[in-house]
Amino acid sequence: MADEHDAASRTEEATPRRLEQAREQGDVPKTPELPQLASLCDGDGVRPAFVQNRCYASSGWDREVRAFCRTHDIVYQGFSLLTANPEVLASSLVRRIATRERVTPPQVVFRFALAVGMLPLTGTSDREHMTQDLASPSVTLSPDEVESIESMAG
């Protein structure tokens, strides 16, 4: 039993070193989980300035990692906000807001992301979509709408 505990302890201690070595080599995982992120921030090494995670509504929009980032002054960058969440884009709430605001459902999702402290990343190369994405901060969402979108699937 002690051997299992010692092995787990060595693994936990090695995680920050491995991640820091990976960072030095330019090979840092883009989707760290909360324990990895906490290990990086507990050590004396270089702390991350950004976290890039695929963000699923079905997983609560990565709420715990976002909260950790906010507490530790780390910029949370959400990606796949649209492709990973087609049910949100098609939801009656998002469509109703889009109609009211005269915007697209993706703009509503990007505005939601900003409202909960994410820096939304877009992968579009389409000029019109990029223009729409950049206009998303002008979309008005009430606190109740933000809360409803955040609790949609998680």
Q: Which structure tokens are listed for 38?
A: 């906490």
Domains in the chain: boundaries: 1-45, 49-154
Q: What is the 3-state secondary structure (H, E, C) of 113-134?
A: HHHCCEEECCCCCCHHHHHHHH
Q: Is 24 in a helix, a strand, or coil? A: helix
C-alpha–C-alpha distance, residues 58 and 103, integer Å: 24
Q: Which CATH class name applies to 49-154?
A: alpha beta
Q: Which structure tokens are listed for 145?
A: 């709408």
Residue 46: pLDDT band with limits 50, 70, 90 = confident
CA torsion sign for 120, 59, 75, 27 is negative
Rg (CA), the chain: 18
| Alpha-carbon torsion, ordered 114, 115, 117, 121, to 10 deg | -20
Give pLDDT, residue 57.
95
- The pLDDT tens digits for 106-142 are 999 999 999 999 999 998 999 999 999 999 999 999 9
